[in-house]
Amino acid sequence: MISGLHLVNADPNGDAAAIERLALWMLRQYTPVVAIDSPDGIVMDTEGADHLRGGELPMLTGLVNALRGHGLQARGAIADTWGSAHAIARATRREVIIVPVGETAKAVVNLPISSLRLPPDIVSGLAVLGFRTVGELSATPRAPLALRFGPGVGRRLDQMFGRVVEPIDPIRTADLIEVIRSFSEPIGAAETIAKYIGKLVVELCAALETHGQGVRRADLIIYRVDNTLQSLRAGTAKPVRDIPRLTKLLCSSIENIDPGFGIEKLSLAATMIEPFEEKQSISSLVEETIVDVTPLLDSFGNRGQRMYRLAPVESDVPERNVGRVSPVSEKLGQAWPTRWPRPSRMLAHPERIEVIALTPDHPPASMTWRGKRRRIKRGDGPERVFGEWWVRSSEMEAVRDYYSVEDEDGNRFWVYRSGDGVDPATGTAKWFLHGIYG
C-alpha cells in the first residue's frame, strides 16, 4: 500500500478535449497536417515543414521541451510511417527518437506486438501463440494469421512498414481561413501547379482582407489521386497580404512536390494569422524610403538558412559579449562600450600557445602557434578581464590578461594569459590565442 496516494477518476472526454486543443496548437506552430491519434497521441506529417524549426531534431526536442514546460510528459518519434512512429514513441524509453529514412524495418523488429495498434483480444491471442515481437510476426506466413485473426494483423503490419499508405486526415477549426480548388482532371506539371497556387493565393488574400488579417504561416496541402497527402509550409517574419510575395514564397519550393499520378485537389490555408494594418506609403519626394527587407528574409527562412543580427550583451568576457538577435528585431542602436581595438576574427575556442614572456605584466617576447614560432616585435596590454561569478561559480576568482601583439611580418594577434601571473588562484598562467586582428 502506498500512503497518501491521491486517486482521480479517469476523464476520457476531458482528455480528448485537451488533446484536441494541443493538436490545434501544433497545427499553428509546427505543421499543416496534424491529426489525433486517439486515445493518447497526436500524429503529424512534418515533411516540408521542419525547415522552419531548424530541422527535424531541433523541432522534435523543442516540441517535447515545450510540452514539458506545460507539465506534460511527452515522448516523440519521427519515422517513415504513422504506424512505426506510433510504435517507437510508445515502446522505447527515450524522449526523442528520429529514425532515418529507410531504416524503419530495422527499428521496429524488436518492438512488442502490443504497439501494433491491434485490438486487445487479438494481441492476447497472438501472445498465446507465442508471438512477442513485431519481427517474429512479420516473418510468419500471412494466410494462417488472416484465417485466425482476420485481415487486421496484415494491414497493421503493412502500414507500419510502409507497404500500404495510411493517409492522415488533418484536423481543421471552424474559423480557419482556407481556400480549396479541386480539379476534374489530375494535374502534375510544375507550371500548372504554379498557376493554381497563384489563383489560390489571390482567393486567400481576398478572404484575409475581409477579416483584416495578414498571414504568418500559409500551408499548401496537396491531395494526390492515390489518396496521399503532401504539404508545403511557408512562414513569414511579419504578417503579409501581398499576392506576388506569397505566390513567390510558395512557388519557391514547388520542386519538393512529388505529383505522382496526379494531383486532384489543392488546399491553401492561413494557419497562423495576425492583424494586418495597411500603411500609407511615403512618397519619395518627402523623405527617403526605407526598403523593407523582410521579403528577402522570408525567402531565406523558407530555404532553411539561419539569419541573425549581432547585438551587444553586457559582459566583459569577449565570447559572451556578442549575442544573436532576430533580423527583424528592433534596432536599439547600442554600441559596445570598449574603445580598445578588437580582432576581426575570433577563434571558436581559444588555442594553446607556447610563450616566452616576462611576468607579471609584459606582452610575450615570442610565441608558438600551430607549430610556427613568431618573434613578437610590438605588444599592447594587459587588458584585464575578470571572471563572472554570477554565470559560473568556478569563475569566482578567474582572471584573463589580454594582450595584442604583432610579429615581425605584421601579423597581429589577440592573446591572453589565464590568471594575473602572480596568484595561482586566478588561473593556470597558461597562454592562449583568442583572435586575429586585421
Partner 1 sequence: MPITAANPVISELQDRIRRLEGGAARKGEVLSFGIAEIDARLPGGGLACGALHEVAGGGADAVHGAAAALFVAGIVARTKGDILWCLTRPDLFAPALAQAGLHHDRVIYVEADREEDVLTNFEEGLRFGGLGAVVAELVRLPMTASRRLQLAAEASGTIGIALRRWRRPTEAADIGQPTAATTRWRISVLPSEPLPVPGIGRARWLAELIRARAGEAAEFEIGACDATGRISLSRRGNRRRSIQGGCADRHARRQSPGDDIRPASGQCRPER
Q: Site residues (CB under 8 A) for partner 1?
A: 291-293, 295-297, 299-300, 303, 305-312, 318, 321-322, 327, 331-333, 335-336, 338-348, 377-380, 404-406, 408-412, 435-438
In the complex, least distance from residue 307 CB atom to partner 1, rounded to whole angstroms: 5
Closest to 399 in 3D by CA, of 315, 317, 337, 313: 317
Judge whether 433 and 350 are in contact, CB under 8 Å.
Answer: yes
Minimum distance from CB of 305 to partner 1 (Å)? 5
Distance from C-alpha of 33 to C-alpha of 172, rounded to nearest angstrom: 9
Nearer to partner 1, 227 or 411 (CB): 411
Residue 271 vs 404, nearer CB to partner 1: 404
| CA gap 358, 73 in Å, rounded | 58
Cβ-based nearer residue to partner 1, 170 or 363: 363
Closer by beta carbon to partner 1, 202 or else 254: 254
Shortest spacing between CB 286 and partner 1, in angstroms = 17
Residue closer to partner 1 (CB basis): 71 or 333: 333
Task: Tell the smallest beta-carbon distance from residue 401 to partner 1 (Å).
Answer: 16
47 secondary structure, DSSP code: T
Minimal distance, residue 384 CB to partner 1, in Å? 14
Omega into 382 within 30° of 0, i.e. cis? yes
The distance of closest approach from Cβ of residue 53 to partner 1 in the complex, given in angstroms and rounded to an integer, is 16
Give me the least distance between CB of 419 and partner 1, in Å please: 23
Preceding amide of 100 cis, omega within 30:
no
Only one residue has cell 605584421, namely 410
The DSSP-derived string for 366-408 is EEEETTEEEEEEEEEEEEEEE--TTT-GGGSS-EEEEEEEEET
Cβ-contact 28, 170 below 8 angstroms: no
Closest CA to 48 of 210, 234, 179: 234
- Of 142 and 342, nearer to partner 1 (C-beta) is 342
Taking the least distance from each CB to partner 1, the nearer of 68 and 378 is 378
Contact in structure between 44 and 34 (CB atoms under 8 Å): yes
